[in-house]
Structure 1
Amino acid sequence: MFRKQILIRAAFVLVGALSVGSLAACGSDSSPEEGAPAKVRFGVPTNLGINHTPLGAAIGLGYFEEEGLDVELVITGEEGIQGVATGQIDIGTFTPDRIYQVIEQGGPQSDLVMVYNYLRGPTASIAVLDESPIRELEDFAGATFGASDVASANLLISDAIVGTVGLKYPEDIGHLGVGIGPAALQALVGGEVDALSLWDTEYAAIEAQGIKLRYFSVPEQEALFSTTAFTTTEYKEQNPEIIEAFGRAVARATLFTITNPEAALGVMYETFPELRQAGVSEEEQLEVDLIALNARLKLLELEDGMQWGEYNPDNVEMWMEFGADNGIIPAAIEDWESTFTNEFVDAYNDFDPAVVEKQAQTAGAE
């Protein structure tokens, strides 16, 4: 079993789902002392889970501190985009659909820009029990989708999937917040919902328990990247070195996770003990969590010719078209090139991969 040999050095604050008002309390008016680490308020929309392993590893392995950053992790809930837009969060992560919605609406809080392409493919799909009578998309008429909560961005994708056959929410389908993990599974098995609208790691964890699922998606999803890091144009222009350092730490942690997923999970367990399940041995939990994490790795790996954090402009344009065609955003954003940047990609990749790979390969060695 992996035993972490590295001190946990990056700052960590878990504040729970926050209101925008309480987000303001995370800010600081003090100027950093010369030579001190740069403080970064980093927002993620959901409580940490196995799907956050590379981000958690960047904290637990000390990569952020090595890059000169003092990272405060804030769990924002669905208000994370507004938190970034108003400057209460410096760098956030979210799925593109919600970011595009805010940008398309316009106004003073719409000046957002995606800066690091984290999950390079789609995580969302609709899942039903294998024995479900639902066999075609048209069969979802009258069905209820269970999601982590009713504001989940995954429901946008699920609605778009069934929208390709003319089904619409709320006329033809329903939404119900059922949580994740055992609660979501119970809602599906117990018939409270007809299908789940979750993501890859959650589905993998369910199937690891011997429950077979069937999945529904559409070909248009294949080019859609998922969770992405974003900030405001103002923050990007004023803090390029912070963004570069942040992305480089994430890139290093992503490579570590891909190289040795078990070691990365060991970092997560030790850094965030609240992730450990009561009454389950670490070995038993690791076995299940590895299945979930391995399902995620294919979305973290680099495609040929791409670098860590890089966006494929063609995929950004496809997102615009998919979102506009399927009701995720009212209309395509004409100036879609301004919604992302690859200007920091060279800096993200300015590290020696062999050093990270060796660290991962030897992690936990006695």
Structure 2
Amino acid sequence: MLRKALLTTALVALVSVPSVAQAQNKTVTLIQPNNGTMGFYGLHAARLLGYFEEEGINVKLLSGDTSVPYAAFLTNGDVDLAMLDGSETFQARNANIGAVTVYTVHNRAPEGIFVAKDSPLQSVTELKGKTIGLASDRDLAVVKVAMAHAGTNADGVNTVVVGDSGPTLANVFLKGTAAAFAGSGNDVAALLARGIELRDIMPESAKNSPANTYSMLGSRMAELKEPLCGFFRAYSKGVHVGLEDMEAVAALSRKGVPHEWESAAYGYRYLDTVKGLQVPPNPMKIGEVNVAAWQGVQKDMVMIGAVEKEGSLDAILSNDFMDCANDFDRAEVAAEVKAWMADPANAEFTKKPASQ
């Protein structure tokens, strides 16, 4: 994700206010990018299959379309969970706000550096002296990480923010307004669905890292143990749906995020782009916080100058929720998915649409 730079001074200046999830209720408030998307299919799968309701959890989603750093919502008491990327996580550590990563959503980075299929460029190192279009300013970090993994730096590379709208992105590749585009898979899914074939030349080593993770204030771990166990268990069930039947995820998505299925071609290309991001290394430990993977993220942050030096990760990583998040019957989830797919009330969603 590598979103907005998290301003240390802004975080330190914030004053905590009373928490949003009090002990007497089970409302879980969170902030994350792209609330309504297959990129986080566990969320709407859990909602549509009634898993949050079973846990007695009311999920309150704040709009992620904001220039305010997500970690600031934690320190200001506005949310219980904030989805942070690697850069934000380590900058939050530097700011000493007490944020702890407790659940992994994306086990691989969704970003890439894309070139046209017939482009002569084969490596990011060949972009020296050329222009890379960025989806937003945050994607400059994507370029820096990619260059570092290729054994060089971003010196001599020109960047320009081109946005993520379809026509603008199409011009990057059809009219050659830039040699490459740095952004996420969902930024280019519409182009892929419309027959504009691309290649991702970002080094594979730069992708093998957790990207979007749920963080909370460590000081609230005991207070929020019960509601967050329910939330994460429901979310893990939603993720498990994809491990059982990805076509069921497509059907649930046609109901839960219909705007991503206005074109069946787009829907399937986008799902194909993002489904691998959410597959856990160990299907019995959905959401696991992989310490070794985070050590790799820390090395990346040091390489691009976002973190001064490597340090202990003990204070910012926790697997305290892993047991309860995975305490469910996999066979039962499979049966519930099968029943939902067979229910005549869902026929308009379960029928596979013709490509458009």
Aligned residues: 326
Q: What does the per-residue CA deviation read over 1:221-264, in whole Å, with 9 as the maximum and x for residues that have no partner?
A: 25311111111112223211122111111100011133233333
Which residue of structure 1 aligns with residue 124 of structure 2?
Answer: 137
Change (3 A) 1:40 1:47: closer
**Matches of 2:339 and 2:145, distance apart in 1:** 44
Q: Is the 8 A contact 2:288 2:322 kept in 1?
A: yes
* Aligned-CA RMSD value: 2.8
Which residue of structure 2 aligns with residue 58 of structure 1?
Answer: 46
1:168 to 143, 154, 158: 154
Aligned positions of 1:277-288 closer than 5 A = 277=262, 285-288=263-266
**Matches of 1:136 and 1:146, distance apart in 2:** 16
2:328 to 348, 351, 358: 351
**Matches of 1:319 and 1:263, distance apart in 2:** 33
- The AA in structure 2 aligned to 1:265 is A
Look up the SS of the partner of 1:191 in the other structure.
coil
Q: What does the per-residue CA deviation read over 1:116-167, in whole Å, with 9 as the maximum and x for residues that have no partner?
A: 01111222221111232433323212333333322x3x43122221244434
2:37 to 49, 53, 65: 49
**Matches of 1:348 and 1:287, distance apart in 2:** 34
Change (3 A) 1:260 1:132: same
1:247 to 225, 232, 252: 232
- Answer with 49-58 or 179-188: which moved more: 179-188
Q: Is the 8 A contact 1:160 1:326 kept in 2?
A: yes
Q: Is the 8 A contact 1:244 1:348 kept in 2?
A: yes
Tell me whether 1:267 sits opposite 2:252 in the alignment.
Answer: yes
- The AA in structure 2 aligned to 1:158 is V
Look up the SS of the partner of 1:119 in the other structure.
coil
Which residue of structure 1 aligns with residue 133 of structure 2?
Answer: 146
2:85 to 83, 92, 95: 95
Which residue of structure 2 aligns with residue 291 of structure 1?
Answer: 269
**Matches of 2:243 and 2:55, distance apart in 1:** 20
Q: What does the per-residue CA deviation read over 1:10-34, in whole Å, with 9 as the maximum and x for residues that have no partner?
A: xxxxxxxxxx9xxx9xx99888695
Tell me whether 1:215 sits opposite 2:203 in the alignment.
Answer: no
Tell me whether 1:82 sits opposite 2:72 in the alignment.
Answer: yes
Tell me, which stretches of 5 or more residues in structure 2 are unaligned?
Answer: 1-9, 345-356
Percent of pairs with identical residues: 20
- The AA in structure 2 aligned to 1:324 is V
* Cα drift, residue 95 of structure 1: 1.7
**Matches of 2:165 and 2:318, distance apart in 1:** 33
* Cα drift, residue 309 of structure 1: 1.1
Look up the SS of the partner of 1:337 in the other structure.
coil
Tell me whether 1:127 sits opposite 2:117 in the alignment.
Answer: no
- The AA in structure 1 aligned to 2:264 is L
* Cα drift, residue 203 of structure 1: 4.0
Q: TM-score, normalised by structure 1?
A: 0.79
Look up the SS of the partner of 1:350 in the other structure.
coil
Q: Is the 8 A contact 1:146 1:196 kept in 2?
A: yes
Which residue of structure 1 aligns with residue 312 of structure 2?
Answer: 335
* Cα drift, residue 40 of structure 1: 1.5
Q: Is the 8 A contact 1:60 1:268 kept in 2?
A: no
Q: Is the 8 A contact 2:280 2:287 kept in 1?
A: no
- Answer with 94-103 or 177-186: which moved more: 177-186
Which residue of structure 2 aligns with residue 40 of structure 1?
Answer: 28
Look up the SS of the partner of 1:46 in the other structure.
coil
Change (3 A) 1:97 1:308: same
* Cα drift, residue 183 of structure 1: 4.0
Q: Is the 8 A contact 2:260 2:267 kept in 1?
A: no
Q: TM-score, normalised by structure 2?
A: 0.81
* Cα drift, residue 62 of structure 1: 2.5
Change (3 A) 1:269 1:181: farther
Q: Is the 8 A contact 2:21 2:224 kept in 1?
A: no
* Cα drift, residue 63 of structure 1: 1.7
**Matches of 1:89 and 1:29, distance apart in 2:** 8
Tell me whether 1:112 sits opposite 2:99 in the alignment.
Answer: yes
**Matches of 1:321 and 1:113, distance apart in 2:** 19
**Matches of 1:222 and 1:271, distance apart in 2:** 28
Aligned positions of 1:304-323 closer than 5 A = 304=282, 307-323=285-301
